[in-house]
Structures are given as structure tokens and as C-alpha cells.
Amino acid sequence: MSNLFIIHSYNADTKESFGPYLAKKGEELGLDIVFPDFPIRKEANYYKWSKIMDQYLLSGQLNSDSIIVAHSLGTHFIPKYLAQKNISVKLYISCAGFINDNSGREDLQEVVNNFKPDDEEINKAVKLIEHRYSIYSNDDHMNPQEELEYYADRFQAEKVFIPNVGHLGKRSGIKELPEAVDIIKKILEK
């Protein structure tokens, strides 16, 4: 059975935005749901997040049939982690994915730099991920649309543009993300 990993953001507001909806829809599709609880804000760092993901890797839950939906900071973590651990996955959907932080916030920049995959890790991740999609919007308060499209291009991901949904977090008021569910259904049917 495939599983669905939902990787939250810097603030973990994915758990209050589209995360619960995605978990419910994933269960309806027969997927095992994994929604890791990572340290947030100033406590977030790549090493701590990696140690948590290592548990899923060692148990066999994270494998070549895995589907991963990552939001914001999670879109840095997942490619870096997959590349460093040499893990292949079936599907990766980035939500509000960016490479260069444009927030202007020092606290966030420090954390993002700790997670940011380098070019070699990005290239390796592209080869390890069978299907890649990138969901983004035109009014993301953290990054301009050009940066979000650059992320999609860099990961050779199929672009899924949704107008006026911001950064897809709590501030955006997004509670559902049917576009991600449609992508998952399409890949499961292959």
C-alpha cells in the first residue's frame, strides 16, 4: 500500500490549512497517512527534521511507492533529504516551493539557509522522484511568482498555477487543495 507524507511548513500552519483535508482525501484513496510533527520556527533545523524522517525510512514507510506533499520550508527539506539518503519516491508535490528566500525576515532566512538544497542535491532529487508537480500562486506574500516558477523549473516539475491562494498557509485561508488530490489520483491510476 502506498502512503502519503504531508510535510509541514516553518510555522506548521499546514496542519491548520490544507493538511487535514489532504489527509482525509488520502485516506479515502486508501493511502496510509504520515503527517510528521517537526520542530518549528527557531527550533527548526535540517538535522532535527532528518532524524524524524529517518524513523520512517528505517521502518520502511518511506519508500519508492511514497507520495510526498511538502509545503513552504518542507519544499527545501524533502529534495535535500531524498538526495542525501538516496531515496526514490513515486510522487512529489511542492506547495509554495521556493529556492531563494524573499521574505526579508532574518529569523526565517537563517532557517531556510540551513535547509536549502544545493545544485547537486536538486539534480539528484530530480532523478530520484518519478513524478514532480509544483503548486503555486500569483499572490504569495513570501515569494514572487517568478521565484515560485523558478522552483518548478529547477525541479522539472509540472506547474499547477492556482490564482489568488497566496502562500497556501493559514494566512491565505486555504482549507482545501483539490488540485493536489487530483494529481495523486492521476498518479495512482497509472
Decide if 74 contacts 10 (C-beta within 8 A): no
Q: What is the pLDDT of residue 161?
A: 97
Tens digits of pLDDT across the chain (190 residues): 689 999 999 888 899 899 999 999 999 999 999 999 999 998 999 999 999 999 999 999 999 999 999 999 999 999 999 999 999 999 999 999 988 777 777 877 888 888 999 999 999 999 999 999 999 999 998 899 999 999 999 999 999 999 999 999 888 888 999 999 999 999 999 8
Cα distances (angstroms) measured from residue 130 to each of 65, 100, 135, 139, 145: 10, 24, 17, 29, 25
Which of 1, 7, 4, 56 is closest to 25 using CA atoms? 4
Strands (E), the chain: 3-7, 32-34, 67-71, 89-95, 129-136, 158-161
Q: What is the pLDDT of residue 1?
A: 60
Cell of 87: 531515496
Decide if 178 contacts 151 (C-beta within 8 A): no
On whether the pTM is more than 0.85, the answer is yes
Q: What is the pLDDT of residue 104?
A: 77
